[in-house]
Amino acid sequence: MTALVHPRIKAIGRTLAFTWLALWPLTGQAAGLARRTLVVVPGVGIGPPADINGFNPLLISSVFDEQAANLLFAPLLWINRHLHVDYALSVARAVIVGPHHRSYTILLKKHWLWSNGAPVTARDVAYTYKLIVRLKHRFANYGTGGIPTVVASFTVINPHTIRIITRRPVNPLWFELNGLSLLTPLPAQSWRNTSVARLYDTLTDVAFFRTVDGPFHLQSFQPGRYATFAANKAYSGPNKPYFQRLVFRFLQSPESVFFALRSKRIQIGNLPLSLYRGRHQLTDFRAYPVGPVWGFNYIGFNYANPRIAFLRDVRVRRAIMHAISQRLLIQVLYHGHGLRDYGPVPPRPTTFLSPQARALEKHGAYDPRRARQLLRAAGWRRKPHGMRRKNGRKLAFTLSIPPGDVRGPVLIKDLLARVGIDMRLREKPFNEIVAETEDPRNTHWQAMALAWGLSPYPSAGNIFACGAANNDYHYCNPVLNKRLRALTRPGSLAAMYRYEDYFTSQQPVIVLPASPIIVEAARNLKGLRRALSPLGDFNPEFLRRRHPGPHNPPQNGRLP
Structural domains of the chain ordered from first start: 37-53+194-291+517-557 (3.40.190.10), 92-185 (3.90.76.10), 295-512 (3.10.105.10)
pLDDT at 31: 39
**For residue 32, is pLDDT > 90?**
no
pLDDT at 547: 63
pLDDT at 16: 27
SS3 state at 286: strand
Q: Find the range with the poorest average confidence among 115-129, 293-307, 363-377.
A: 293-307
Q: What confidence category does residue 542 fall into, taking pLDDT thresholds of 50, 70 and 90?
A: very high
**Are 292 and 338 spatial neighbours (Cβ–Cβ below 8 Å)?**
yes
**Are 40 and 249 spatial neighbours (Cβ–Cβ below 8 Å)?**
yes
Q: What confidence category does residue 13 fall into, taking pLDDT thresholds of 50, 70 and 90?
A: very low
Across 435-461, average pLDDT? 88
Across 348-369, average pLDDT? 94
pLDDT, one tens digit per residue, over 468-502 is 878 899 999 999 999 999 999 987 889 999 999 99
Q: What does pTM read for this prediction?
A: 0.79
SS3 content of the chain, % helix, strand, coil (to 5): 35, 20, 45
pLDDT at 560: 34
**For residue 18, is pLDDT > 60?**
no
Highest mean pLDDT among 53-62, 147-156, 425-434, 439-448: 147-156
Across 63-82, average pLDDT? 94
Across 56-61, average pLDDT? 92
Q: Report the alpha-carbon distance of residue 232 to residue 540 in Å, rounded.
A: 13
pLDDT at 22: 27
Contacts (Cβ under 8 Å, ≥6 apart) of 504: 342, 343, 356, 357, 360
Q: Report the alpha-carbon distance of residue 53 to residue 417 in Å, rounded.
A: 37
Across 416-425, average pLDDT? 97
Q: Report the alpha-carbon distance of residue 218 to residue 229 in Å, rounded.
A: 5
**Are 172 and 457 spatial neighbours (Cβ–Cβ below 8 Å)?**
no
The one-letter amino acid at 221:
F
How much of the chain exceeds pLDDT 90, in percent? Answer: 71
**Are 469 and 421 spatial neighbours (Cβ–Cβ below 8 Å)?**
no
Burial group, residue 112, by CB count within 10 angstroms (0-12, 13-18, 19+): buried
The one-letter amino acid at 410:
V
pLDDT at 1: 25
**Are 425 and 409 spatial neighbours (Cβ–Cβ below 8 Å)?**
yes
Q: Report the alpha-carbon distance of residue 237 to residue 225 in Å, rounded.
A: 30
Q: Report the alpha-carbon distance of residue 512 to residue 311 in Å, rounded.
A: 17
**Are 26 and 34 spatial neighbours (Cβ–Cβ below 8 Å)?**
yes
**Of all helices (H) and strands (E), which one includes residue 397?**
strand 396-401
Beta bridge partner(s), residue 397: 423
Across 243-256, average pLDDT? 94
**Are 415 and 325 spatial neighbours (Cβ–Cβ below 8 Å)?**
yes
**Of all helices (H) and strands (E), which one includes residue 131?**
helix 122-135
pLDDT at 331: 92
**Are 61 and 438 spatial neighbours (Cβ–Cβ below 8 Å)?**
yes
Q: Report the alpha-carbon distance of residue 247 to residue 36 in Å, rounded.
A: 11
**For residue 20, is pLDDT > 70?**
no
Q: Report the alpha-carbon distance of residue 23 to residue 444 in Å, rounded.
A: 50
Q: Report the alpha-carbon distance of residue 89 to residue 239 in Å, rounded.
A: 9
pLDDT at 406: 87
Q: What confidence category does residue 46 fall into, taking pLDDT thresholds of 50, 70 and 90?
A: confident
- State how far the alpha carbon of 30 is from the alpha carbons of 15, 25, 155, 444, 556, in Å: 17, 7, 49, 53, 12
Helices (H) and strands (E) in the chain, counts: 18, 20
21-25: Cβ within 8 A, 24+ apart:
21/557, 21/559, 22/557, 22/558, 22/559, 23/557, 24/557, 25/557
Q: What confidence category does residue 81 fall into, taking pLDDT thresholds of 50, 70 and 90?
A: confident
pLDDT, one tens digit per residue, over 109-161 is 999 999 999 999 999 999 999 999 999 989 988 888 999 999 999 999 999 99
SS3 state at 41: coil
- The DSSP-derived string for 442-501 is -----EEEEEEEPPSS---HHHHSTT-TT-TT----HHHHHHHHHHTSS--THHHHHHHH
Across 334-358, average pLDDT? 91
Higher pLDDT, 83 or 183: 183
Across 309-338, average pLDDT? 95
pLDDT at 555: 39
**For residue 232, is pLDDT > 50?**
yes
